[in-house]
A and B are shown apart, each in its own frame.
Chain A
Amino acid sequence: MSDDFRWQGARLSRRGVLKVLAMSASAGVLAACGGGGTSGGGGAPTAPPAGAPAGSGATAAPAVQSAGTATKVVWFAGRDTTGYTPKQVEAFNSANKSIQIDYQEQGATTQDLHDKFVTVAGAKDSSVDIVSMDVPYVPEFAAAGWTISVDEILPKDEQAKFAQGTLHGATYEGKLGGVPWFNNGPGLYYRKDLLSAKGLQPPKTYDELLNAAKMLQTADIAGFAMQLPQSEGGIINWMEYLWGYGGDLVDDKLNVVVDQGTAGVDGMQKILDFVYKDKILPEAALQFKLGADVMNLFRSGKVAMIRLWFSNVGDLNQPDTAIKPEQWDVGPLPSKDGAKPGPGCLGDWNLGVSKFSTKQKEALEAIRVLTSYEFQRARFLDGGFLPSRQAVFDDPEIQKKYPYAKAAQASFDNLKPRPVTPYYPDISANAIQPAFGQAMAQQITPDQAIKQMADKMRQILKSG
């Protein structure tokens, strides 16, 4: 290397800077155009629906409001992959003259919805009226003072008509933070045709599940699948095995007990064995961030059995489904000893009202209607979403269309909520998920994972 190689343009001339900046600025404009065009196409879900019913008032809120004919309430919701909820919103809007719902899905994952609402509520902004809440968000938002109690639209005699587990999960410090608008828990979806071809019954225990998966597995069809990524959806699957082996995360007083006994380790080991030792569960499950990822595998006939939410039943009605209705069924989860269905995680959704909404009265009324018997019945019949109002299960038309309805209702007795505390999202994201993710990737052993998460959980619960 001679001296000739040294930098000669050590001083940047002003003209040079300006030219470079000008070039990059014009490049920026180029990018803005390109980016804008792309997101305009891809970002459609958050935009207001283009084809809003004429004269509904949804697009001209201020004028309509001052005329006193209709109030627009904004609903922050999670993604409904079945596409059914927008239809119910349309039904609501066409039947209601005074209240119009502006339904806005917030991103693909539950976490996206959570973060968006935290942004809005943290700023005490009034742009959201109704918010959909996964079970852990009810206590979180109520404790933070972001949602109001919905007790007034659900008096005690009405509450008695709901599944009590769902109400328990929606109650924080004695007050109802949201109305459960459908019930949800996991079930075991299975291929009836494949099981009967081998003379098998739907598995009732973890070991039967393993054996059936081994027998049904072929080069093209995986034995079993569930969600195992480092996410809320992943840790729920482990939690069900933790409960299945008799353990829990915390006790009633929020003391961390996950590292007491061997249930946490055993449950995690069982899942790891499914993936790495028995090889009945494809390793790709570690990337299944969405329930739809598991369902798509099942819908395309590439897996014999899956553990997934009952709310995904509607996906099987989609036209591009490869398996026919008579080929599949869904039932309770297996358990350790088979005496009763395995414990499932309560996964219902609740509708609450933002404390910073200026239209709380209208928002509460909209929720009252959306969670009414009629809407829950239609939601089940046409969308496949199981109701939180128990009476819907007794409807003859429902029972005719969904033979599994009663089984699902029964398995809901075994649903457990995740710890009902405002600390839960923090615990989940910062203690459980990282430890679980590392264990699933075989970076640490289940023993180490449980110890790591227990230590971190105690730290979070102590520091606040």
Chain B
Amino acid sequence: MSTSAGRLTRRLAFVGLLGVRGRRGAQEHADARLGLLMAAPAMLTILLIAVIPLAQTIQDSLFQISLKFENAPRPFVGLDNYRALLSDDSWFNALRVTGLVTLASVAAELVLGMIIALLINRSFRGRGIVRASVLVPWALTTVVAAKMWAWIYDGRYGVANDLLMRLHLIDQPIIFLVKPEVTIWAMIGAEIWKTTPFMALLLLAGLQLIPNELYEATALDGASRWQAFWRVTLPLMKPTILVALLFRTIDAVRMFDLPRVLTNGGPGKSTETVVLYTYNTFFTSLNFGYGSTLAVATFLIVVFVSFIYIKVLGAPTQGARR
């Protein structure tokens, strides 16, 4: 006999909010009440800072709101903004840019992050310092990192050009941030540099969850290190890898500060991500209705990406299931 509160408790337990399993009987009700009470402040906060603004944005997306003129009418336009979205070249361009940046950077980060995680998981002298210093790029504020990369990529004084010239890989300095086909990869490079440490950190966490006995057993069975990696490490790392990919993909889809500071979407609109386009629609075009539509569309994309990952992440654990 299961009450709705009991079901709720189990759900909360499943999402890890409470960390307790539902039990039957009076104890269950008491637990449920306590659980609700304890979760209430968090829920209330989420309601205030996430749900209400989201509802407001969805509402705004159904109106034509231009702040260009004081007291301008704000007619209800229904789904007109969404129809406009479907024929908006700038939006599709931003989608292409975001897709490319997300795919390229997250893939590279996964490989590099895994290598770094494997390296710093080994014990060697000065491991603490190495682990800490690996985190530095990620700990830097993105705006600062973007400014730094703008200097590195500078056409006249940039370190990147200097290195390439000294290595005789190029004869003429490259103006990195001017040619679209170069700029987008320069931006992806900066993004990889910036967020690989985060990936490495998450993967390191996963590596440390693997009991050493398993490696001892594979060694006894005569497996090579390479085989141990493919048959022990990777399979056991799957949950971690998926969580890391989820975090990074969502982050990359919402990429804003790096292109804003490094290229401001240029040249042309070749590095304009969906969030940067949304921002410009709000703050330069002062078009808050259509801007809200773009924001809702971005939100739906993020939800969609999360949904896919969570599907892949698999069903909940035995304990939380009925």
Contacts and interface: CB of A to CB of B under 8 A. Distances in A.
Interface stretch (B37-45, B63-71, B108-116, B297-305): B63-71
Contact of A284 (B175, B180, B235, B313): B175
Interface stretch (A18-26, A242-250, A400-408): A18-26
Interface string A441-456: 1010000000000000
A437 B156 contact: no
A144 B156 contact: no
Contact of A287 (B154, B198, B319): B154
A9 B236 contact: yes
Given A14-B319, A118-B283, A5 B264 contact: no
A237 B66 CA distance: 30
Given A143-B69, A425-B284, A9 B16 contact: no
Interface string B173-193: 101011110000000000000
Contacts of A24: 201-202, 205, 243, 247
B285 A441 contact: no
Interface stretch (A27-35, A317-325, A333-341): A27-35
Interface in B270-309: 280, 283-286, 288
Given A10-B238, A429-B284, A434 B268 contact: yes
A8 B179 CA distance: 45
A464 B286 CA distance: 10
Given A14-B317, A284-B156, A231 B264 contact: yes
B231 interface: yes
A174 interface: no
A8 B202 contact: no
Nearest to A234: B266
A283 interface: yes
B14 interface: yes
Contacts of B150: 287
Interface residues of A, number: 62
B285 A430 contact: yes
A182 B315 CA distance: 66
B316 interface: yes
Given A143-B70, A144-B286, A433 B266 contact: yes
Given A10-B238, A24-B205, A39-B141, A144 B70 contact: yes
B163 interface: no
Given A4-B231, A430-B285, A441 B179 contact: yes
A39 B139 CA distance: 10
B155 A286 contact: yes
Q: Which of B150, B266, B319 counts the most chain A CB atoms within 10 A?
A: B266
Contacts of A437: 266-268
* Chain B interface residue bracket vs A: 35 or more
B93 to A, nearest CB: 10
Contacts of B144: 38-39, 42
B19 A18 contact: yes
A211 B230 CA distance: 67
B68 A422 contact: yes
A284 B268 CA distance: 17
A144 B283 CA distance: 13
A127 interface: no
Contact of B139 (A8, A35, A287): A35
B314 interface: yes
Contact of B67 (A23, A144, A229): A144
B68 to A, nearest CB: 5
A438 interface: yes
A12 B284 contact: no
Interface in A21-76: 21, 23-24, 27, 30-31, 33-35, 38-39, 42
A38 B68 contact: no
A30 B204 CA distance: 15
Nearest to A116: B283
A441 B314 CA distance: 48
Contact of B16 (A21, A284, A440): A21
B35 interface: no
Contacts of B320: 14
A463 B69 CA distance: 13
B243 A17 contact: yes
Contacts of A291: none
Contacts of A423: 68
A16 B209 contact: yes
B267 A441 contact: yes
Contacts of A433: 266
A194 B267 CA distance: 35
Contact of B315 (A9, A11, A33): A11
A426 interface: yes
A284 B153 CA distance: 10
A13 interface: yes
B247 to A, nearest CB: 7
B235 A7 contact: yes
A140 B286 CA distance: 10
A296 B316 CA distance: 60
B175 A19 contact: no
B178 A441 contact: yes
B140 interface: yes
Contacts of B209: 16, 19-20
B138 interface: yes
B99 interface: no
B139 A38 contact: yes
A327 interface: no
B206 interface: yes
The 6 closest A-B pairs by CB, nearest first: A145-B70, A34-B139, A23-B205, A8-B235, A284-B155, A230-B266
30 contacts: A5-B231, A6-B235, A8-B235, A9-B236, A11-B314, A12-B317, A13-B317, A17-B239, A19-B209, A23-B201, A24-B202, A27-B198, A30-B139, A34-B139, A35-B140, A111-B264, A145-B70, A230-B268, A231-B264, A286-B175, A287-B177, A426-B284, A426-B286, A434-B269, A435-B268, A437-B268, A441-B178, A441-B180, A443-B267, A460-B285
Given A4-B231, A287-B150, 8 more contacts: A9-B235, A35-B139, A284-B154, A286-B155, A429-B280, A430-B285, A435-B268, A437-B267
